Amino acid sequence: MLKTFIERPVLSTVISIIIVIMGLVALTSLPVQQFPDIAPPTVEVSASYPGANADVVLSSVIAPLEEKINGVEGMTYMVSSANNDGSATIQVFFTLDTDPDMAAVNVQNRVSSAISSLPSVVTQMGVRTAKKQNSMVLVLSLASNNPVYDETFVQNYARIYILPELQRIAGVGDVAVFGARDFSMRVWLHPEKLAVYNLQPSDVVQAIREQSLEVAPEELAPIVKRRFKLQLNIKDV
C-alpha cells in the first residue's frame, strides 16, 4: 500500500486534499465544547428555623417542601439535610438536558405553593431558591497584617466590596464567606419565672421585637415637639 502512494504522487496529493477538506468541514459543523457538562443541573432550596433542632426542622420545614417539590419537571432525585442550628437545605438534581434557569423557576413555583404550610418564623426569615453545584470552583483567602483591621473588619469588607463583585460574574451560583459570624443575641429563659408571670417564650420574643423596632426620624418628630411644648408650659407657670 505504501509503495502505491509513492509511485502515484498525484493520487496521494488528491487524498490528502480530500482529508484536509473533510477536516475543515467537520471543524465548522461539529459542536465543540471546552468544558462539557459533567455534573447535572442542581437547584438548592434553603430555609432557616431559629431555635429548632434537626428533628423539628425535618418534620415542619423539609417535609412540606419535599412534598411539593417532588415530581418537578426534569427532576431525577433530591437530597435533604437538617441541622440543629435550624438550617434546612434541599438539593434537587435534574437531567443533563434540563435548562438550569427553567429548573430554578419550576422549583421556585413549587416552593411558593408550600409557603402556607411552613411555620410563620420560617416564612419571615425567607425561603431561598438558587441554582448551583455542590463543588467549589475557587477559594480565596483574605488576610490583614494591620492589627487595626481585625477579623470583624475583614469580614465586613469582604461582604461589602468583594462578594457583590464575585456574585455578578457570569456562571457564579453562590459566594459564601467561611467563618463569617453575623451579629446576633441569644436569650436564656427561666421556666420558673415565666410560669410565675404567666408568660410564654413567644411573649418574650414579641417584647424583644417591639424594643428592636427601627423608626424613621421624621416619625419621632411629633413626639419630640409635644415634649418640648410641655416643658415650655411648665417653665411659664
Give the pLDDT of residue 65. Answer: 93
Closest CA to 88 of 61, 125, 117: 61
- CA-CA distance, 72 to 52, in Å (whole number)? 28
pLDDT tens for the chain, 237 residues long, are 667 767 777 888 888 899 999 888 887 777 666 656 567 888 999 998 887 888 989 999 999 999 999 989 999 999 999 988 888 999 999 988 888 889 999 999 999 988 988 988 888 888 988 887 767 778 888 888 888 888 878 888 888 888 888 888 887 777 777 765 666 677 888 888 888 888 888 888 888 878 776 655 555 555 445 444 444 443 343
Closest CA to 49 of 67, 69, 39, 63: 63
Give the pLDDT of residue 235. Answer: 39
Class of the 42-131 domain?
alpha beta
Give the pLDDT of residue 232. Answer: 41
Give the pLDDT of residue 108. Answer: 92
pTM of the predicted protein model: 0.57
Cell 411644648, located at residue:
229
Name residue 78's beta-bridge partners: 92
Assess contact for 64 and 114: CB atoms under 8 A: yes
- CA-CA distance, 169 to 2, in Å (whole number)? 55
Note the maximum CA span of the chain.
128
Give the 3-state secondary structure of residue 82: strand
**Domain segments of the chain: what residues?**
42-131, 136-183
